[in-house]
Structure 1
Amino acid sequence: MQSQLDPLPNDLPFRIISKTIGRGAYASIKKAIPPEELHPVFAVKFIHKAYAVKHGRVSAKQIAMEVSLHSHIGQHPNIIEWFATGEDAVWKWIAMEYAEGGDLFDKIEADVGVSEDIAHFYFTQLISGVSYMHSKGVGHRDIKPENILLSDSGNLKIADFGLATLFEYNGKTKLSTTMCGSPPYIAPEVITCSKNGQSRNPPGYAANLVDIWSCGVVLFVLLVGNTPWDEPTPASWEFEEFTRTGGRSTDELWQKLPASVLSLLRGMLNVDVANRYNFERIKMHPWYTRKNPLLTPDGKMADPLGMAAQMLESMHIDFSQKPTASQRNPRQSQDAMDIDSNEKTSKFSFTQPETPINDIMFDWERPPRVHAAALSATQPANAKDADISRMTNSAAGPLFPSLADEPSMSQFASAPTVPLSLTQHARRFRDIVPNYSLTRFFSHLSSPLLLQMLRDALHQLNVPTPAIPQVQGRDHAAWIGVKTVDGRNCVLLGDIVVDTYISGDAELLEVRFVKVKGDPLEWRRFFKNVVVLCKDGVYIPGA
């Protein structure tokens, strides 16, 4: 692909106010506001049409379908709302609700999960959104942690309708035959359909039942912080045992589950689609109808601050632990440099390419600064633009009195804890659980020493790195592209971005792990492994 993409449209009916906040295989997401107003802040997805068709194996018709179906279902409190769309010769843009709370699974600890009450809360909201979608005849077909976001108040939002389909219209239903989804979350009948795809009349699958299977896997992940298998085929020993025992697996992950939820999971993860639970049976199950102090009768959050504190407390890095893989019996890892093309897609043919758009215009937005500093001379001069600067997470004013009070620092405490300063001054869910990812740390080392430490850690984890970390024209101290496979043998793509950070009289380096593609929990596990290997370079206030 060319090193410099075509410029974004210059006649947009809104003002872009941020760098990239999300990036996919052929799209970038930025924040925007109305032309003459500061609110509301919304998200705009920019799709490079030629790149999507050439590298993403999607047609212009499929892109149009995403817009059409999203606009059809985007009126539910647990679904990202659709606002408008437009295009020019190169780009198509979709304006939608901005999920101000960020990714839900960024706030869940790998291999730990969340409490039963929190899992129940988010599961009921997920089922509410997906069942509404199905009532409109739309199947998502890609329910997974990457596509589950949060509002600023911590409520669940289902996103990304690039693989959605209309399975019911005017009382008539149709089966799907397209292979799509992520291996750990995909239903087995989708794979069976793909294997028979060369026949004249390949068996189809019901998109709504596929979504129910995926919701079951998501519930499992919420409770234990890991997927039950890497793929639902006999090649996975965990799945083979699950089917052989009728859902009574002896695998250690299943032993962590509350007994009351097991029958619900077995119903949702029933390989026999004729007997798989539908929404009526799910909503009648005793675990679904259980009392939950975090949930109001109308499905809202009863105690936002208490729930946020619980979630932040669960995020913890133990420096005494050795790096871990997600599987108990991890496979021999393939060479991560070989995953670009069809190494994985020879078996799973997906619609998204493994190599995403990578361009200077898609530089990542930085999280809020913590230090108390006045606006610099490079900051906007007038009040309106200063407000925009604050809205875009720039260095425009202190959010916390010191770095020790910054939410991401709590994960490095010797014992899981939430800074008292956070809970004392918090008014909303996101005042405790930030919208940005917690996969970042600060270092007191010099840039050369830190970069060498990072490179050594990546080498120990068999992650290839460039000879010299690149900044690619961006305004950063260093920028390391990450291309590897996770413990479930799925692709992980992202960036390690190093920036200079001034805190009081001290100058530190901020190291952010920004995921582009892959499971958020696997990315979190990768981050933890690198941090443990770099523990001597991690700055911990008061340590």
Structure 2
Amino acid sequence: MSQLDPLPRDLPFRIISKTIGRGAYASIKKAIPPTDANPVFAVKFIHKAYAVKRGKISAKQIAMEVSLHSHIGQHPNVIEWFASGEDPVWKWIAMEYAQGGDLFDKIEADVGVSEDIAHFYFLQLISGISYMHAKGVGHRDIKPENILLSETGNLKIADFGLATLFEYQGKQKLSSTMCGSPPYIAPEVILGSGNAQTRGGMRAAGYAANMADIWSCGVVLFVLLVGNTPWDEPTSQSWEFQEYLKTDGRSSDDLWQKLPPDVLSLLRGMMNVDPKERFTFERIKHHPWYTRQNSFATSDGKMRDPIAMATQMLETLKIDFNKEPSASQRKSSQSQDAMDADGDGVSRFSFTQPDTPIHDAMFDWERPPRAYASGFSASQPTNIQYGGICTMNNGAAGLPNAEELDEAPTMSQFTTSQALPLSLTQIARRFGDILPNYSLTRFFSHVPTERLLFLLTDTLTKLNIAVPSVEQMQGGEHIAWIKVKTLDGRRCDLAGDIVIDTYSMEHAQLLEVRFVKIKGDPLEWRRFFKTLVVLCKEGVYVPDGQ
């Protein structure tokens, strides 16, 4: 269908990229004003007919996303709304481009971040969500995939496709739509949705979207601190959740034991299974852990020392080649049909969107950014062809050498040293100079292409992940391109591409292997990346002396 439908003409901006994000019926591209090179912003293109037919999203819901985003898109921790428009086929939404990428791509799986960093981002998350609630809008899909970063490292809440107006002119209404991601969803959303029934066979009355958001914020805080979710889903199917219920939030599970007492107190309040007893924002903001002093935060919630904060986050990202992947990591090797938007498929309840993306040239991915010397990202265009696709170059004089590559941010995760190279931290002036906006789920390889492909495909096969043929992997603008579709450790869909390109250095040539997430939790994608790297360690280039 979409191959016959070109993007709208006469747009009030110029597209400068291929696809940088994709959903079941939408594509996100970068754009600039018609006569200037700045600012770079994002545009979401929604194919209206495809959304209704395949996504089971009504025209009213599409209009609601535009209306609600414009209503709440003026807060520093919410992706800003700029403009929208449509033609008979497409609707588009122009919005702020989160240049810092996924927050949870920069958090170590099964480790998390320090208490101060978790506290800083929790303050910003609560600030943004409480602002939305004050406007009567519930997000209903709070999860790592929808928590992004600005270029300066500040949190940005994104994706309002499932948002709802729960309060209007002082009157509140309950929701009945089943939506959200299983590990982050509140239990009453399952019980109070349109396709759930009570014990007596009567349909549930619904759920309060604002209180469901508070539960999800609690789960996000938990993940920030320990690098994992507390359960697969808040139902009787999860023994972790049943343990949480039986112990009144005092679970003996190892993950809960890692948390300080003050945090546990706050989480029990935010994740009270009774929405009427759950903490409100007023109680959250008066809790001792919320009001604690934080060396990274100013009194008004701004970042005090972005270089120190980014340095601490990057130093936490480590891959231990001597540690075999855990059983929980290997659970991601199973396959499962995707959940549909209405929750009437084979699975227990729905993901945010169905797994039937449009396959079209207009939905081709932008070439993943390369990692260049000196630790600085080349993911932003330095040369722009107005009216067409942007061209990029690294702006470096000559090719990088091995020493420069070893000191790039992406290489620090493969070293045994806890400290970053001084050459990186001393020249850094911004958050992004330490934590680049490109994904750190990448490695370099010194082995021949054929050997590397064998290592990757053999490992994927051992993990029961379908592998394309060599002919399907090779050809085109990349040396190889492996499409991956699996389940993560919490039985949620995970999909992306493993892209292999040549990386030329001054006296040698390596292969650069980039793991590009298309769908799923960024923390789970990093866990998947770590699993493959450890199992393919023979083919991974490690800095000298490590």
- Number of the residue aligned with 2:466: 464
- Per the TM alignment, residue 30 of structure 1 is displaced from its structure 2 partner at its CA by 1.5
Matched, 1:62 2:61: yes
Q: After the TM superposition, which of the residue ranges 111-120 and 395-404 deviates more from structure 2?
A: 395-404
Residues 1:143 and 2:175 aligned together = no
Q: What does 1:409-488 correspond to in 2, within 5 Å?
A: 409-468=411-470, 470=472, 474-488=476-490
Do the aligned partners of 2:339 and 2:349 also contact (CA within 8 Å) in 1? no
Name the aligned partner's letter for residue 145 of structure 1.
P
Report 1:260-339 matches (<5 A): 260-326=262-328, 335-336=334-335, 338-339=337-338
Alpha-carbon distance in structure 2 between the residues aligned to 1:488 and 1:80: 28
Matched residue, 2:529: 527
Q: Distance in 2 between matches of 1:266 and 1:33?
A: 45
Do 2:187 and 2:273's aligned partners in 1 also have CA atoms closer than 8 Å? yes
Query: Once the 2 structures are TM-superposed, how far is the Cα of residue 366 of structure 1 from its aligned partner?
Result: 2.1
In the alignment, what sits opposite 2:98? 99
Shift of 1:522: 0.8
Q: Whole-Å Cα distance in 2 between the matches of residues 243 and 421 of structure 1?
A: 50
The aligned counterpart of 2:230 is: 228
The answer on 1:253 being equivalent to 2:252 is no
Distance 2:387 2:98 in 1: 18
Indicate the SS of the match to 2:300. Answer: coil
Match of 1:238 among 240, 246, 269: 240
Q: 2:446 and 2:89 mapped to 1: Cα distance?
A: 44
Question: What is residue 83 of structure 2 aligned with on the other side?
Answer: 84
Report the more deviating stretch, 260-269 or 53-62.
Answer: 53-62
C-alpha separation in 2, matches of 1:237 and 1:396: 50
Q: Deviations over 1:322-362 (max 9, x none)?
A: 122447xx87x785164587897531034511232333332
Higher alpha-carbon deviation: 339-348 or 83-92: 339-348
Partner of residue 375, structure 1 = none
The number of residue pairs the alignment matches comes to 529
Partner of 1:394: 392
Distance in 1 separating the partners of 2:531 and 2:133:
39
Gaps of 5+ in 1: 373-379
Q: Displacement of 1:159 after TM fit?
A: 0.2
Displaced runs of 4 or more, over 6 A: 340-344, 386-389
**Alpha carbons 2:445, 2:512 under 8 Å: kept:** yes
Query: Residue 50 of structure 1: CA displacement?
Result: 2.3
Match in the other structure for 1:10: 9
TM-score (norm 2): 0.91
Which amino acid in structure 2 is aligned with residue 346 of structure 1? S
Q: Distance in 1 between matches of 2:135 and 2:318?
A: 41
Deviates more, 1:269-278 or 1:49-58: 49-58
State whether residues 87 and 93 of structure 1, in contact with CA within 8 Å, keep that contact through their aligned partners in structure 2. Answer: yes
What is the rounded CA distance, in whole Å, between the counterparts of 2:496 and 2:333 in structure 1? 18
Greater shift, 8-17 or 157-166, is seen at 8-17
- After TM superposition, the structure 1 stretch with the greater mean CA deviation from structure 2, 517-526 or 334-343, is 334-343
Residues in 2 aligned to 1:17 and 1:50: alpha-carbon distance in whole angstroms? 25
Identity of aligned residues (%): 69
Three-state SS of the structure 1 residue aligned to 2:18 is coil
Distance 1:398 1:426, change over 3 A: same
Q: Separation in 2 of the partners of 1:448 and 1:316?
A: 27
> Structure 1 residue 180 and structure 2 residue 182: aligned?
no
Cα distance in 1 between the residues matched to 2:159 and 2:244: 30
Q: Deviations over 1:135-184 (max 9, x none)?
A: 00000000000000001111000000000000000011000000000000
Q: Is the 8 A contact 2:14 2:386 kept in 1?
A: no
Please tell me the residue identity of whatever aligns with 1:406.
A
d(CA) in 2 for partners of 1:407, 1:187: 37
- Look up the match of 2:128: 129
Q: 1:431 to 1:219 in 2, by over 3 A?
A: same
1:467, 1:63 → 2: CA distance?
38
Over aligned residue pairs, what C-alpha RMSD do you find?
2.5
Distance in 1 between residues matched to 2:471 and 2:431, nearest whole Å: 37
CA distance in 1, matches of 2:155, 2:490: 25
**Could you tell me which residue of structure 2 aligns to residue 31 of structure 1?**
30
Instruction: Give the match for residue 18 of structure 2.
Output: 19
Shift of residue 255, structure 1, vs aligned partner: 0.5
What is the DSSP-based 3-state SS (H/G/I as helix, E as strand, rest coil) of the residue aligned with 1:365? coil
State how far apart, in whole Å, the 1-side matches of 2:89 and 2:119 are. 43
TM-superposition CA deviations, 1:447-467 (whole Å, max 9, x none): 222111100111122211122
- Normalised to the residue count of structure 1, the TM-score between the two structures is 0.92
- Checking the alignment, whether the CA contact within 8 Å between 1:152 and 1:430 is kept in structure 2 is yes
Rounded Cα–Cα distance in structure 2 between residues aligned with 1:472 and 1:540:
25
1:266-303 CA-to-partner distances (Å, cap 9, x unmatched) read 00000011100000000000000000010000110011
